[in-house]
Structure 1
Amino acid sequence: MERAALTNKLEHQSLTQRIHDRVRELIESGALSPGTQLDERKLAKDMAVSRTPLREAIATLVEAGIVERHPYRGNFVRTFSAGQVNDLYVVRQALEGLATRLAVSKLSEEGLAELHLILDEAQAALERSDLIGYSNADQRFHEAIAQASENEILIESLNRLKCQIQIVRLSANRDPDVVARTALERPRILAALEARDGDLAARLIEEHIDGVRRAVISQMSATEA
């Protein structure tokens, strides 16, 4: 009986995690945009699951700061104020600058080749006007550098920010000027990594992130105006 209960509990936890990952994927891809209410009935039907594990999955997204719970109204994909975006990018800039400095001496030739491949995929997505593919490649480029730092605490910290960053990144990548500029900046970052110039690589990635921060805040200010 105890073994059966444990098995059921693990299966329930696994189902909840799969639902969590799927809802998060919908948010990160922009299929569920900021401010969208999470329709539990529709989500449960689309994923062929009951609403109990769905609600548990949504609760973990609320805890992660990706979904907002409004009493008597429901759960909504989080929206960000200009101040929150600024704070998010200031933290991201500091963490990724550190990750880049740490990664320089640890990146293998295979790691550098992977970064080249990611940039090729980003360019191919850009040429076919695939915004989601371009954003995903952008995300993978930054994640690969962070992973190369081999600093578990730093990687965990960036992972906690990842979905929030992706929500904002999708907005930034709708601006063709931002896309054109950042598409030129990433190869320069990679060239500095290949040259094993930690200070230059960190400065370039910090400037890269700060440029996106300024662009997103400018977009938000224009919309509010």
Structure 2
Amino acid sequence: MQKIKKDALGNLVYGKIKLMILNGALKPGQKINKKELTEQLSVSQTPVNEAIIRLTGEGLIEQQERKGFFIKIFTYQDLKEFFAIRAGMEGVALRLCVEEQPDNTLDKLTHFFDNFSLPLDENEYKKYLKADQEFHQKIIELSRNSIIINFNKNFDFIMKSYQKGLIRPPEETLPEHKAIVKAVRNRDSEKAQQLLIEHHLKSRKVIKDQHLKYNTNN
């Protein structure tokens, strides 16, 4: 019974620290203060240490020799690899939405970009950035697939460590989003999946080109 209680506490602390990383309460590059975490979570240092070790194994935390533990900052290479995976997984998520969700649920995907037309001014750009993020998040949510949903949480964290705005300009992505929405409205799951995969792979190519340019200049 004692071991069960200990394991339950360890899992609880692990879950809370992981959530703090994923929602940005612990920021990329930030050094982990174990004392603060034990006080904040009202636990001893043992479950905090165990959680840090688990999260290091998952790649969300990294240990720097003689310096301590830090929230990992992901690289261009990391992001490039995750975009390749995300393209496939979110494409599957969208296909599941189109093929399995009723009209009233699927309708939640089709109005994010109704009020946008090019060119966008500064205020519209900010609204478009928000709509872009919410659109992709809604695809994941409506897939009702727990594996895809959990993967996406890690991807969102990686994106926060990389950039704050759009990878590609609205002049490129808005027509792509509207084409995806049109396929969704037409219940064309295969085309919707294909368009979304292409959408993400184009962004991946931009990241790849930026990486090559960075390496050339350094």
Q: TM-score by structure 1 length?
A: 0.69
Amino acid across the alignment from 1:72: R
Residue identity over aligned pairs, in percent, reads 19
Q: 1:168: which partner in 2?
A: 159
Q: 1:26: which partner in 2?
A: 24
User: For structure 2, which runs of at least 5 residues remain unmatched after alignment?
Assistant: none
Residues 104 and 218 (structure 1), Cα distance of their counterparts in 2 relative to 1, 3 Å cut? same
2:134 is the alignment partner of 1:140: no
2:191 is the alignment partner of 1:197: no
Amino acid across the alignment from 1:219: Q
Q: 1:209: which partner in 2?
A: 200
2:57 is the alignment partner of 1:63: yes
Are the aligned partners of 1:119 and 1:187 in contact in 2 as well (CA < 8 Å)? yes
1:167, distance to aligned residue in structure 2 (A): 1.6
Q: 1:110: which partner in 2?
A: 104
Tell me the secondary structure at the aligned position of residue 72 of structure 1.
coil
Matches within 5 A, 1:10-49: 10-11=8-9, 13-26=11-24, 32-33=27-28, 35-44=29-38, 47-49=40-42
Are the aligned partners of 1:95 and 1:158 in contact in 2 as well (CA < 8 Å)? no
- Bigger Rg over Cα: 2
Are the aligned partners of 1:119 and 1:141 in contact in 2 as well (CA < 8 Å)? no
* 1:150-202 Cα shifts (integer Å, max 9, x gaps): xx5xx415623541354236635524744554344333322211211122101
Amino acid across the alignment from 2:206: A
Tell me whether 66-75 or 132-141 shows the greater mean CA deviation: 132-141
1:138, distance to aligned residue in structure 2 (A): 4.7
Higher RCO (Cα < 8 Å, 6 or more apart): 2
Q: Among residues 69, 72, 83, which one is paired with 2:66 in the alignment?
A: 72
Residues 5 and 202 (structure 1), Cα distance of their counterparts in 2 relative to 1, 3 Å cut? closer
* 1:25-54 Cα shifts (integer Å, max 9, x gaps): 117xxx613x44333344555x35444433
* 1:182-223 Cα shifts (integer Å, max 9, x gaps): 344333322211211122101110111112212223334444
Tell me whether 198-207 or 71-80 shows the greater mean CA deviation: 71-80
Tell me the secondary structure at the aligned position of residue 26 of structure 1.
coil
- Higher helix residue share: 1
In the comparison of the two structures, how many residue pairs are matched?
210
Residues 170 and 42 (structure 1), Cα distance of their counterparts in 2 relative to 1, 3 Å cut? same
Q: TM-score by structure 2 length?
A: 0.71
Tell me how large the CA RMSD over aligned residues is: 3.8
